[in-house]
Amino acid sequence: MIKQKTLKSAISCTGIGLHSGERISMTLHPSDIDTGITFRRTDVAGEGALIPAAFDSVCDSRLCTTIGSDGKTIATIEHLMSALAGAGIDNAMIDVGGGEVPVMDGSAAPFLFLIDCAGVVEQDAPRKALRVLKTISVSDGEKSASLEPSDGFSIDFQIEFENPVIGTQQMALDLTENAFKNEIARARTFGFLHEAEALWAAGLAKGASLDNAVVVSGDKVLNEDGLRFEDECVRHKILDAVGDLYLAGAPIMGHFAATRASHALNNQLLRELFSNPANYEIVDMQAVEHRRSTGAASWTKENVAASPATH
């Protein structure tokens, strides 16, 4: 049986909020079977504010992915969610001492390191996956995103910028745990100097710096060490998408294709997916692996879990 996973022990970190500029503490805790990923604002009086990491908790997606409940919000969750997805963590409680997840170095690698230090344990329950049954797509002008049926989780992402450093970048890969760790996790968020200056003038992106973002000015990368990958920007867009799509509440079995997609479009795609129960089904991951290994041509009712999607 392919089992659900949680953390072996709690682990904490402290860092700067990308948009708030505030110093924020965060602790990742183990959690029970079938509880999923939940955030808790520990700076709120009483027992704190619980916010499920779910696509329908997203309340803002303009500069990052923000989730909220009962008037309380937590922003910039996408890099942590991406790390949790990449490490196969199904259940965790995330305590955050403010309104934003620390940005760390702007990638998912520090969060993977925290998860590795805490340890990962299997739980006595089968892991579920969300299997895409029908191709769905959303668009906004030149931006587009789609999900189509597939036996695994694969991504094909393309970005286009009128900038000589970035230009057009495209990457496609099957997103295994090793592929995420080696090819995606270290890719940092990026932006342009003139945009950062405009945000700073508006009192936004207060924590952004060369320590936590790739900053481009004209034909130059301002970071002293340059890029971690020649196509780091499209790799980071994939990192963002992995985190946004994990708000489905389970790993996705499907092929995700995107052109210039944003946090907003990623969330819109999940809302479209869940708008019709005929678009998806929840399956046992053991059945998924059995089908891959045997080349089975079809699914039977025994492959499909009776429980609804945990979203």
Q: Are 79 and 239 in contact (CB under 8 A)?
A: yes
Q: Active-site residue among 29, 79, 263, 311? A: 263
Q: Is 76 left (phi over 0), alpha (psi -120 to 50) or beta?
A: left
Tokens 């780091």 identify what position? 232
Q: Are 304 and 283 in contact (CB under 8 A)?
A: yes
Q: Are 92 and 31 in contact (CB under 8 A)?
A: yes
Residues in the chain: 311
Residues 6 or more apart whose Cβ sits within 8 Å of residue 113: none
Q: Are 87 and 76 in contact (CB under 8 A)?
A: no
- The angle formed by the CA atoms of residues 290, 32 and 308, to the nearest 5 degrees, is 55
Q: Are 49 and 69 in contact (CB under 8 A)?
A: yes
Q: Is 52 helix (H, G, I), strand (E, B) or coil?
A: strand
Q: For 145-262, where are the alpha helices, taking DSSP H only?
A: 177-179, 193-201, 232-245
Active site residue 311: no
> Mind telling me the catalytic residues?
263
